[in-house]
């Protein structure tokens, strides 16, 4: 891919994002004409203003944060493990975050503070990341990584099932648990957007890592020999990718495959250089999840996690076929 063609990608992705945002503002149970969207945004029309400011805009913001976070997290994990099949979902990091949140709900802590769920999601995701690091320590071959991911996903699924089956849950808590399992953006409020807002900080912290991540993605020892502070870089990458995944999971549950297919597609289009890949993943991931959510809403309120998996599953199989 030539640099000149690549130069269109960032503006192109941004334009796509803007279009999906506008569509997401207009489409819904009550369709709004473009003029009414503008009136609603300007608060000149009470009903439209309520729909947009109370319902659609917070959902859009959360969707963008979640999509950007998962895609960027995928890019970082792929560079870290030097394997383009590594992603928060496949490795079990999303499931770890989800299990953390579900346990907090099951134990009845979740209601005590808005920070409980993000905190437990981060703890769960960090524990899962630690387990992956141990299981796939020496050379992260595709087989080892995927097997580690399968084992972890099964283990964490058992934790979640245990909470579901052995805790006497109220109907409300049961619904909350199911929400995390299926992943979705229903009823997201500005509070959820605020909860996920640190995603912006984590994404900004990724900015200066682009160049050293290039070197690391071709080999840790080689990168060290070329002057990269590999240990520090790896620690930062793991911390940031885990926090990104955990925050996304804390507000939207398990949304599968975003961290796998968005980085992959973008790498095919823009090449492997992380200085371009990271911002593209943030914007492309936001556009992808928002578009999937639009499909989910238009298809009669299908859960977001189902839509991303319906798109991501076949893509993943195609990827595996292509690799062999």
Partner 1 sequence: MTALTIKNATVPGRLAAVDLDLPRGVLVGLVGPNGSGKSTLLQVAAGILPIDGSVAWSGREVDGIPPLERGRMTNWVPQEARFEFGFSVRSVIAQARYAHGDDNAGIEEALARFDLGSLAERPVNRLSGGERMRVLLARAFATGAGLHLWDEPLAPLDVKHGLEILVLARRLADGNRTIVLSLHDLRVAHCLDIVVVMHAGTVRAVGAPDEVLMADLLLEVFGVRARTAPGLILELP
- Min dist CB 133 to partner 1, Å, is 18
Q: Say how far apart CA 68 and CA 244 lie, in whole Å.
A: 9
In the 3-class helix/strand/coil scheme, how is the chain assigned residue by residue?
CCHHHHCCHHHHHHHHHHHHHHHHHHCCCCCCCHHHHHHHHCCCCHHHHHHHHHHHHHHHHHHHHHHHHHHHHHHHHHHHHCCCCCCHHHHCHHHHHHHHHHHHHHCCCHHHCCCHHHHHHHHHHHHHHHHHHHHCCCCCCHHHHHHHHHHHHHHHHHHHHHHHHHCCCCHHHHHHHHHHHHCCCCCCCHHHHHHHCHHHHHHHHHHHHHHHHHHHCCCHHHHHHCCCCHHHHHHHHHHHHHHHHHHHHHHHCCCCCHHHHHHHHHHHHHCCCHHHHHHHHHHHHHHHHHHHHHHHHHCCCCCHHHHHHHHHHHHHHHHHHHHC
- Min dist CB 9 to partner 1, Å, is 16
- Min dist CB 7 to partner 1, Å, is 16
* Residue (115 or 226) nearer to partner 1, CB: 226
* Residue (75 or 251) nearer to partner 1, CB: 75
* Residue (5 or 33) nearer to partner 1, CB: 5
- Min dist CB 131 to partner 1, Å, is 23
* Residue (31 or 221) nearer to partner 1, CB: 221
- Min dist CB 53 to partner 1, Å, is 43
* Residue (64 or 260) nearer to partner 1, CB: 260
- Min dist CB 11 to partner 1, Å, is 23
Name residues whose C-beta falls within 8 Å of residue 317's C-beta, 6 or more positions apart in sequence.
Answer: none
* Residue (192 or 267) nearer to partner 1, CB: 267
- Min dist CB 83 to partner 1, Å, is 6
* Residue (131 or 145) nearer to partner 1, CB: 145
Instruction: List interacting residues with partner 1 (CB under 8 A).
Output: 82-84, 211-212, 214-215, 217-219, 221-222, 224-230, 267, 271-273
């Amino acid at each position: 891919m030539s640099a000149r063609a690549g130069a269109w990608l960032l503006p192109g992705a941004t334009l796509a994002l803007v279009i999906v945002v506008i569509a997401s503002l207009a489409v819904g149970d009550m369709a709004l004409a473009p003029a009414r969207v503008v009136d609603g945004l300007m608060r000149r029309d009470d009903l439209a203003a309520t729909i947009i400011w109370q319902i659609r805009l917070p959902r859009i913001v959360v969707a963008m944060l979640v999509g950007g976070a998962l895609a960027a997290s995928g890019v970082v994990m792929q560079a870290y493990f030097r394997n383009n099949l590594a992603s928060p979902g496949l490795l079990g990091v999303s499931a770890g975050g989800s299990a953390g949140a579900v346990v907090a709900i099951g134990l009845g802590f979740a209601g005590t503070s808005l920070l409980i769920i993000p905190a437990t999601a981060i703890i769960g995701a960090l524990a899962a990341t630690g387990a992956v690091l141990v299981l796939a320590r020496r050379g992260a071959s595709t087989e080892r990584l995927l097997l580690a991911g399968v084992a972890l996903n099964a283990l964490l699924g058992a934790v979640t099932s245990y909470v579901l089956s052995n805790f006497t849950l109220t109907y409300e808590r049961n619904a909350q648990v199911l929400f995390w399992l299926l992943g979705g953006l229903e009823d997201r409020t500005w509070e959820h957007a605020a909860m996920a807002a640190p995603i912006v900080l984590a994404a900004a912290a990724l900015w200066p890592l682009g160049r050293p991540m290039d070197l690391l993605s071709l080999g840790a020892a080689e990168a060290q020999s070329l002057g990269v502070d590999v240990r520090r870089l790896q620690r930062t990458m793991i911390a940031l990718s885990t926090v990104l995944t955990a925050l996304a999971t804390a507000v939207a549950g398990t949304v599968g495959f975003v961290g796998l297919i968005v980085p992959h597609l973008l790498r095919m289009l823009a090449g492997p250089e992380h200085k371009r890949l990271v911002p593209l993943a943030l914007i492309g991931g936001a556009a992808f999840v928002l578009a999937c959510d639009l499909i989910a809403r238009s298809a009669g309120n299908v859960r977001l996690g189902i839509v991303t998996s319906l798109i991501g599953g076949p893509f993943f199989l195609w990827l595996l076929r292509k690799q062999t």
